């Protein structure tokens, strides 16, 4: 198969078109011919080398996968799927047998797997995945829209659900203009919440419904929070890491702080524990999302008529250029890459 992969860790220039062996599905698995994938921050981190998690080289990135079932492993029960079906692949799957997987919490599985991270992903023509990770996509979405959803929109939806966001709540989104921030802003507004987004790209976020857009200065942010809310925001969602102390300062007594996606910053910081417990603050850590969240998200967005915010659609061959854009903060929202090898 053809793929955009890398043989050594490094800058975007290490990405190149490669010829690699076709994957062979085992029991319970299928091979999906990838139609499109999308760019995520984790791609750049893995390309450079993720601390503590070695990647077998050569490697193929891509956590988001939409395509058609092409091959079926021996003895595999496809259930209500069939060869040739269009499928969306959840961006994480578990072992399938542990106590977490048995109750649909595969994102909690100690052996969780992410395509493009632990195994080859959607930058390749073909990818091997377990049937249990497949989702029937609603007809409301096109292929490119589907490619934008699993990671960024899936984990954003999960963050809003686990923190119990309700209509009228104030939600603080830290890291507003990236794929996660735009997803959080759009989805929180669709849930009826009011949004304060922290970003330097106010134009996009206001179009997505943000009530207030503010810069990254701590004093400016807390001033806006005091002005707009009585006691602080109900939920603060931090997908950067270094902004977590600001999130904890901005949340109201009894409010929730959700953190995830600390990929490129120092994951350590100091908490005033007394302030933490005296204010009844809930600190919730998450990563990725179980398939049940993705299915719920697809149904919610279909019902509301929502589409992911996509700032560009490119060829998979443009991956090196797009990685450079992402690392220079030149990407807003989602960027989709289509597999147009024959063009």
- Tell which residue, 36, 10, 129, has the closest CA to residue 334: 36
pLDDT attached to residue 284: 94
Distance CA(242)–CA(183), nearest Å, equals: 20
**135 and 13 together in one domain:** yes
**166 and 227 together in one domain:** yes
Inside any domain, residue 343: no
Residue with the bigger pLDDT between 179 and 175: it is 179
| pLDDT exceeds 70 at position 37 | yes
Inside any domain, residue 192: yes
- Tell which residue, 137, 127, 133, 75, has the closest CA to residue 109: 133
Per residue in 49-100, pLDDT (tens digit) is 987 778 999 999 999 999 999 999 999 999 999 999 999 999 999 999 999 9
- Tell which residue, 243, 271, 238, 239, has the closest CA to residue 256: 238
The answer to whether 146 touches 89, Cβ cutoff 8 Å, is: no
Computed over every residue of the chain, the mean pLDDT equals 94
User: What residues pair up with 18 in beta bridges, in sequence order?
Assistant: 3
The answer to whether 172 touches 198, Cβ cutoff 8 Å, is: yes
- Tell which residue, 71, 180, 76, 75, has the closest CA to residue 126: 71
- Mean pLDDT of all residues in 277-306: 96
Per residue in 328-338, pLDDT (tens digit) is 887 889 999 99
Q: What domain range is 296 assigned to?
A: 2-151+289-338
**166 and 296 together in one domain:** no
**97 and 184 together in one domain:** no
**274 and 309 together in one domain:** no
SS3 for 77?
A: coil
The answer to whether 177 touches 205, Cβ cutoff 8 Å, is: yes
**147 and 92 together in one domain:** yes
pTM: 0.95
The answer to whether 82 touches 102, Cβ cutoff 8 Å, is: no
Q: What is the CATH number of the domain that holds 74?
A: 3.90.180.10
Share of the chain residues as helix, strand and coil, in percent rounded to the nearest 5: 30, 25, 45
């Amino acid at each position: 198969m053809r793929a955009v992969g890398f043989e050594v860790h490094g800058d975007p220039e290490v990405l190149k078109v490669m010829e690699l062996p076709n994957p062979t599905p085992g029991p319970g698995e299928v091979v999906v011919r990838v139609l499109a994938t999308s760019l995520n921050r984790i791609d750049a981190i893995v390309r450079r080398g993720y601390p503590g998690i070695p990647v077998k080289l050569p490697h193929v990135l891509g956590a988001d996968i939409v395509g058609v079932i092409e091959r079926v492993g021996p003895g595999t029960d496809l259930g209500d799927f069939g060869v040739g079906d269009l499928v969306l692949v959840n961006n994480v799957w578990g072992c399938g047998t542990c106590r977490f997987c048995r109750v649909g919490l595969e994102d909690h599985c100690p052996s969780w797997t992410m395509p493009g991270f632990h195994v080859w992903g959607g930058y390749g023509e073909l990818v091997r995945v377990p049937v249990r990770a497949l989702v029937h996509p609603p007809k409301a979405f096109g292929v490119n829209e589907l490619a934008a959803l699993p990671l960024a929109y899936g984990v954003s939806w999960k963050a809003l659900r686990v923190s119990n966001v309700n209509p009228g709540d104030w939600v603080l989104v830290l890291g507003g203009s990236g794929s996660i921030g735009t997803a959080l802003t759009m989805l929180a507004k669709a849930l009826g919440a009011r949004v304060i987004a922290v970003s330097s790209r106010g134009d996009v976020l206001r179009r997505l419904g943000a009530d207030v857009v503010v810069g990254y200065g701590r004093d400016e942010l807390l001033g806006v929070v005091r002005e707009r809310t009585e006691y602080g925001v109900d939920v603060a969602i931090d997908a950067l890491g270094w902004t977590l102390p600001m999130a904890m300062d901005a949340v109201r007594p009894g409010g929730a702080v959700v953190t995830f996606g600390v990929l490129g910053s120092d994951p350590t910081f100091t908490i005033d524990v007394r302030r933490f417990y005296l204010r009844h603050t809930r600190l919730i850590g998450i990563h990725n999302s179980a398939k049940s969240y993705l299915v719920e998200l697809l149904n919610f967005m279909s019902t509301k008529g929502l589409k992911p915010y996509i700032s560009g659609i490119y060829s998979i061959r443009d991956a090196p250029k797009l990685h450079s854009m992402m690392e220079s903060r030149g990407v807003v929202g989602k960027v989709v890459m289509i597999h147009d090898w024959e063009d």
